[in-house]
Amino acid sequence: MKYVLTAAQMKNADSETITQFGISQPVLMERAALSVCDEIATRFPAKKSRICVVCGNGNNGGDGYAIGRILTEWGYPTDIFCANPSGRCSDGNKLQADILEKMEIAVRTDIPADEYDIIIDAVFGVGFVQREGASVYDIWLDRMNELHGYKIAVDIASGVDTDHGSAVSNAFYADLTITFGYRKRGLYLHEGKLHNKTVICKDIGIPYKAFGRLLPDAFLYEPSDLSDLLPKRRPDGHKGTFHKAGIIAGSKSIGGCAILSSAAAIRTGVGYVKTMTDESNIQVLLSTVPEVLTRSFQDEDASFLKDCASVGMGPGLGTKKDAYDIIENVLKKQSCRLVIDADAINLIASSEELKKQLIEYATKQEVVLTPHKKELERLYGDKLPEDPAALHEVEQNTAARYGIYLVCKDFATRVYMPDGSMYINTSGNDGMATAGSGDVLTGIMTGFTAQDIPMKTAVTLSVYVHGLCGDYAKNKHNAYSLKASDLVDSLKFVLRGEDDYEKL
């Protein structure tokens, strides 16, 4: 697990490192610059690449000056540019500019006219604040984006908001972003994810203790985390040891969702999967996933699932009266963790009575909702704000209002916890934007939440594994041909061992 910081949290950690631990700003800046130069030397060892470093007036620009100096010393043909020579500079920026002057390394102020092999963006970093109107930096960002070389951002692409990932229209598009100390939220959220294509984080000596009591409240996972996150297997275990998961999905003529969610759940290591669906789906469900136990809606109410440790409901249910009755029956009679998706969300969103029952249920058992944007909008009761900062507030407040875990499905999926913390997902790809993908997530999440791991872990693990399955399927085949059942098939590979995760 890796913490993901806001700009204020990062600045506070920097300040504490300097004032409380005695690691000076010039030392941190030099370490940051060296880490970028080391990465460039590893990727471009021939020293023939022409490099352009564009620097702003803050500490990010100071990093850029140091990077340009070191690359020049190492023999790379490097041009260093100051984007705003008449602007006010930070102390760290002035220090690095003075070093360049003493070493007689030129700093240019003209707009780069030539092409470069590598373009390094050191204009804003985490200090970027979006303002109305034109900026002296606009022409620089426009030109940097026009250049055809390999683009590297220092800490975060300029023009991207560090906290929420919003971006100005001419924000820098980085092929690689090298961030320092800890990851920043804007690297992975909304437009920020598009502007920071690949992110690596370099340790420059900011200690964990620099957070003090203000621990970051957002986190992400990496492949190496999986072995610690997955439910532990007992060598002496049996079906009952690994618990039962229930699925309520499908309606007349809509049976694929029941198949996909049931097949995904059984692949998570849960002992049993019990599926309720329309009677018209039973035969094809059993022929496709013979491991599941089944009942039809026509034969049973939800008491069939009474012994399940978790129940997932919603995919393909429809929103008619019979589906409403099923959801109400679960909320009144079930006593286990719930995974609520798709039409179950739509039904709850349309009924004040079901909303009350959900809030009451969540005071006794742990519940997760997994809406996409339109489903969340229905639950919210109004059009969602376009501004990422305002959207974050709506999503966080929705989780708190209902006392639930809220999975906001998107190309940059966020999971909000009842305690206010947030998980940011980094796995997955556009090939997963296909019918049935969400049904697979419901199955994975129902399977993991049924097992003996904390709800927070089970929910976030499910989202991460779902994305890894998409990455595995894309790498094995391609994004165009990816279908939901490929995600189910990929589970047996993604979950098999840490050495294999690293190959994704």
Q: What is the dihedral of CA 351, 357, 358, 360, to 10 degrees?
A: 150
Whether 22 shows a pLDDT value over 70: the answer reads yes
Whether 504 shows a pLDDT value over 60: the answer reads no
Q: Decide if 341 contacts 307 (C-beta within 8 A).
A: no
Share of the chain above pLDDT 90, in %: 94
Give the pLDDT score at 137.
Answer: 94
Give the pLDDT score at 501.
Answer: 47
Kind plus residue range of the DSSP H or E element containing 167: none
Q: Decide if 60 contacts 52 (C-beta within 8 A).
A: no
Q: Does domain 238-501 have CATH number 3.40.1190.20?
A: yes
Tokens for 33, please give them.
């610059």
Under the banding of pLDDT at 50, 70 and 90, the label for residue 307 is: very high
Which phi-psi region, left, alpha or beta, contains residue 125 (left: φ > 0; alpha: ψ -120 to 50)?
left
**Residue limits of CATH 3.40.1190.20 in the chain:** 238-501
Under the banding of pLDDT at 50, 70 and 90, the label for residue 503 is: low
Kind plus residue range of the DSSP H or E element containing 259: helix 256-266
Give the pLDDT score at 135.
Answer: 86
Sign of CA dihedral 17, 21, 24, 28: negative
Would strands 405-408 and 272-277 be described as parallel, antiparallel, or unpaired? unpaired
Burial of 282: CB neighbours in 10 Å, binned 0-12, 13-18, 19+: buried
Tokens for 266, please give them.
């059984």
Under the banding of pLDDT at 50, 70 and 90, the label for residue 222 is: very high
The pLDDT tens digits for 252-294 are 989 999 999 999 999 999 999 999 999 999 999 999 999 999 9
Under the banding of pLDDT at 50, 70 and 90, the label for residue 302 is: low
* Half-sphere exposure (Cβ direction) of 6: Cα atoms closer than 13 Å: 14
Give the pLDDT score at 498.
Answer: 47
Over residues 37-58, mean pLDDT: 97
| CA nearest to 412, candidates 57, 168, 114, 164 | 164
Whether 497 shows a pLDDT value over 80: the answer reads no
Under the banding of pLDDT at 50, 70 and 90, the label for residue 398 is: very high
Under the banding of pLDDT at 50, 70 and 90, the label for residue 499 is: very low
Chain centroid to CA 203: 21
**Residue limits of CATH 3.40.50.10260 in the chain:** 2-220
Under the banding of pLDDT at 50, 70 and 90, the label for residue 131 is: confident
Q: Does domain 2-220 have CATH number 1.10.3720.10?
A: no
Strands (E), 6-84: 51-55, 78-82
Q: How far apart are the first and last CA of the chain?
A: 18
Whether 214 shows a pLDDT value over 90: the answer reads no
The pLDDT tens digits for 80-97 are 999 999 999 999 999 999
The pLDDT tens digits for 411-438 are 999 999 999 999 999 999 999 999 999 9
Give the pLDDT score at 299.
Answer: 87
Over residues 116-145, mean pLDDT: 92
The pLDDT tens digits for 315-339 are 999 999 999 999 999 999 999 999 9
Would strands 422-424 and 414-416 be described as parallel, antiparallel, or unpaired? antiparallel
Tokens for 407, please give them.
């999975």
Strand order from edge to edge, sheet including 199-202: 107-108, 78-82, 51-55, 118-122, 150-154, 176-180, 199-202
Over residues 447-458, mean pLDDT: 98
* CA distances (Å), origin 333, targets 154, 325, 356, 389: 54, 12, 15, 38
> Which residue in this structure is represented by tokens 């789906």?
281
